[in-house]
Amino acid sequence: MAVSLKKGGKVSLVKAAADAGIANAAALTQIKVGLGWDVNRYDGGAAFDLDAAAFMLAGTGKVRSSDDFIFYNQKVGPGVVHQGDNRTGEGEGDDEVIDVDLAQVPADIERISFTVTIDQADVKNQNFGMVENSYIRVFDPVSGTELIRYDLGEDFSVETAVVVADLYRHGGEWKFNAIGSGFAGGLAALCANFGVDLA
């Protein structure tokens, strides 16, 4: 059974895998991170295009270089692979998936932040108050077993970007932290926060 977290909740990846019945949970290095959402049908405007991304952060809380920013236009980083852009969010289940091979993540990366932004939110006058049923989940790529789930709830209004959750190193193991922190300013604001130069 998956560990269900509330905002601010943390759990060890090994513990979550063991609780979910994964054999040899301590050796689990490959995971999938699925993000999903639904768009409020009453927004009355243009189509929504939500984009998931991963920022690989050093001890400074910043990327080492723009190579550590993994998104739909740069799908592959060290140990992290974005499976592609879903431009509509239609259908059930995960809208976008990011693969993580923890054994391949460089030793000086302390945290991987998973984010979602609304493409052209300012142009389309859209925000996360119009998005519902948002979640992030971690699952085992072999069995498909869900290990961790965090449902964001409907806490947002004017925000156009959300830091959804972090995977971080602590005491020699990886842990998951449910963040759910909103930003105004979309992807540019997130990139500035994490030290990505968009120029």
Domain membership flag for residue 113: yes
Q: With contact defined as beta carbons under 8 Å apart, do 147 and 22 qualify?
A: yes
Q: With contact defined as beta carbons under 8 Å apart, do 97 and 81 qualify?
A: no
Domain membership flag for residue 38: yes
Q: Assign 34 a pLDDT band (cuts: 50, 70, 90).
A: very high
Kindly tell me if the per-residue pLDDT of 44 is higher than 60.
Answer: no
Domain membership flag for residue 137: yes
Question: Rounded mean pLDDT of the chain?
Answer: 88
Kindly tell me if the per-residue pLDDT of 114 is higher than 60.
Answer: yes
Kindly tell me if the per-residue pLDDT of 41 is higher than 60.
Answer: no
E strand intervals along 40-129: 50-57, 69-70, 76-77, 80-82, 96-101, 111-118
Q: Assign 40 a pLDDT band (cuts: 50, 70, 90).
A: low
Domain membership flag for residue 183: yes
- CATH number of the domain enclosing 20: 2.60.60.30
Contacts of 81 (CB under 8 A, 6+ apart): 70, 75, 98, 99
Confidence (pLDDT) at 87: 53
Kindly tell me if the per-residue pLDDT of 130 is higher than 70.
Answer: yes
Higher pLDDT, 95 or 47: 95
Q: With contact defined as beta carbons under 8 Å apart, do 165 and 176 qualify?
A: yes
Confidence (pLDDT) at 48: 77
| Tally of domains in the chain | 1
Of 35-44, 49-58, 120-129, the one with minimum mean pLDDT is: 35-44
Q: Assign 124 a pLDDT band (cuts: 50, 70, 90).
A: confident
Kindly tell me if the per-residue pLDDT of 147 is higher than 70.
Answer: yes
Confidence (pLDDT) at 31: 95
Domain membership flag for residue 154: yes
Which structural domain, as residue segments, surrounds residue 189?
A: 3-194
Domain membership flag for residue 42: yes
Domain membership flag for residue 199: no
Q: Which residue has the tokens 């498909």?
A: 144
Per cent of the chain over pLDDT 70 is 91
Per cent of the chain over pLDDT 90 is 58
Arithmetic mean of pLDDT, 71-94: 80
Rounded Cα distance, 136 and 68, in Å: 20
C-alpha distance from residue 118 to each of 13, 66, 93, 106, 134 (Å): 29, 20, 19, 29, 13
Domain membership flag for residue 188: yes
